[in-house]
A and B are shown apart, each in its own frame.
Chain A
Amino acid sequence: EPEVTQTPSHQVTQMGQEVILRCVPISNHLYFYWYRQILGQKVEFLVSFYNNEISEKSEIFDDQFSVERPDGSNFTLKIRSTKLEDSAMYFCASKWGGPSNQPQHFGDGTRLSIL
């Protein structure tokens, strides 16, 4: 069964450094999402992406964050200058189409640790 792939599984970065989290969504999916989960807390929406542009973003997704789909397969989340509070599990998800009954398929996540 096709799956969403995220790399790396764990990233350790110094505060202030840039980090790029990578995702390969399921190949025929059209809608892409990033979520984060701070340890022990609920999963929070960051951004959704469709037709090569951001369709919605949360308050968390400030100017330090950006997303792109450079080559039609990878979907990346960049954090320009990381802060301690960016430490979390980051999930990429993708969905085939618009109907509500289509579930989002999640990757296994990237655990980001900021030192």
Chain B
Amino acid sequence: AQKITQTQPGMFVQEKEAVTLDCTYDTSDQSYGLFWYKQPSSGEMIFLIYQGSYDEQNATEGRYSLNFQKARKSANLVISASQLGDSAMYFCAMTHGTYKYIFGTGTRLKVLA
């Protein structure tokens, strides 16, 4: 069965510094997708970045990048130059094709001024 693990319930980072949010996954599928979503206190789910299991390059999207280590089954989100508006809950999710997302338990990030 597929599983996502986020071991950091909460993280603090100083404004303008980089932070890494951890995500490990377990699957027997060869083809899968890994996604990160941001959930601000207002509650909506905002798509940040995607990494495919066959992608050789780490995904990047603006200040977000994904440190994908397939052999370790990890897909850590790196946020560079943190901003106060980055304070939110961050969820890692995995899917296979059109199927459902399996979400991790999330990491609450607080950016300090």
Residues of A within 8 A of B (CB): 31, 33, 35, 41-45, 48, 50, 55-56, 58, 89, 91, 93, 95, 97-101, 103-109, 111
Contact = CB atoms under 8 A, between A and B. Distances in A.
Given A42-B105, A43-B91, A103 B100 contact: no
Contacts, number: 67
B50 A103 contact: yes
Contact of A100 (B32, B100, B103): B32
23 contacts: A42-B103, A42-B104, A42-B106, A43-B45, A45-B102, A48-B98, A91-B45, A93-B101, A98-B98, A100-B32, A100-B52, A100-B95, A100-B96, A100-B97, A101-B33, A101-B50, A103-B47, A104-B47, A106-B37, A106-B44, A106-B47, A109-B44, A109-B45
Contacts of B91: 42-43
Secondary structure call for the B interface: loop
B44 A33 contact: no
A111 B103 contact: no
Contacts of A41: 105
Contacts of A104: 47, 95, 101
Interface string B47-80: 1001011000000000000000000000000000
Contact of B103 (A44, A98, A109): A44
Contacts of A35: 101
Given A42-B106, A48-B99, A100-B97, A111 B43 contact: yes
A105 B101 CA distance: 12
Nearest to B32: A100
Interface of B: 31-33, 35, 37, 42-47, 50, 52-53, 91, 93, 95-106
A107 B98 CA distance: 18
Nearest to B94: A100
Contact of B99 (A42, A56, A91, A111): A56
